[in-house]
Amino acid sequence: MKKFIIATIAMLSLFGGRAMAQRTLPGMRSVEVKANMVDGFYTGSARDCGYSFGVYYSVFKGNNAHEWTFGGEYLQTYKPYGEKGKIPVVELIGEAGYNLHLYSNYSQFFHLYGGISALAGYETVNWGKTLLSDGATLHNTDAFIYGGAVNLQADFYLSDRIALTANLKERFIFGNSTGHCHFSYGLGIRIMMD
């Protein structure tokens, strides 16, 4: 029994070393899909928060697991109107950023990143309709937007190729008239490519 336990531990350590060698190597690429809550917790009846969906492409650089990230995101929030109404505000955003590898555990199961990114895109308020259902006129207009973001992301590797992600992001948007900061948090899945 003692020999069996020693052999099992030796095999697990070999497999563990192999797994560590296959994660975040220089030149490795990944595709990630994220779903986030924005400015609070969104439900269908929420009047002052929203959600976002994004797709990102990343390339790991150097031996320290830092990464360049490029992607796009659909973000929809709502502005309260009247007693029960809400006005949709949609942002279509392109993003390019750099994430610094802050920490990983010995087995490479957990990775923590902090990063900054540049944003540019287009914002539409009430899908371009200025006349509201009660006859009021909306003075906020569609606009090209730009800005930046800071983020914190944790990756949890299920295998060498698949990781679950959790992220926090604060966006700073300019060029619009509906608000300049959006805080989001959410989950995603990352698929590694060769």
Indicate the pTM of the whole model: 0.81
Query: What DSSP string runs through 119-163?
Result: EEEEEEEGGG--B-TTS-B-----EEEEEEEEEEEEEEESSSSEE
Compute the C-alpha angle 60/64/67, nearest 5°: 25
Question: Among all chains, which residue has been given the structure tokens 């650089």?
Answer: 61
- With CA atoms as reference, report the closest residue to 49 among 26, 74, 80: 80
Q: Which fold has domain 2-193?
A: Porin (2.40.160)
Distance, CA of 53 to CA of 167 (rounded, Å):
13
The per-residue pLDDT for range 130-181, each reduced to its tens digit, is 778 777 887 778 899 999 999 999 999 998 899 999 999 999 999 988 888 9
> For 98-139, what is each residue's pLDDT tens digit?
999 999 998 889 999 999 999 999 999 988 787 787 778 877
Q: Residue 170's closest CA among 36, 34, 32?
A: 36
Mean pLDDT of the chain: 87
The model's pLDDT over 41-88, given as tens digits with 9 standing for 90+, comes to 877 777 788 999 999 999 998 778 899 999 999 999 988 888 778 888
